[in-house]
Structure 1
């Protein structure tokens, strides 16, 4: 049971980090667009 809970926490943490990484990539692209103009 504790193994499943640890796995669940790990998955949630990974998906959370992935969402942050994805958002950061979008923000960087947006800044690059602003700098071109």
Structure 2
């Protein structure tokens, strides 16, 4: 929930912070991380 993802195929843009990176490291099999431009 903290990542803002609820369904398959949903996307979200999050800031590059250590807390967010830690959450993403817990679920690498569920998410695809890409670097977005501003």
Provide the TM-score with structure 2 as the length reference. Answer: 0.31
Provide the TM-score with structure 1 as the length reference. Answer: 0.31
Give the structure with the larger helix fraction: 1
Higher Rg: 1
Q: Which has the higher contact order (CA 8 A, sep 6+)?
A: 2
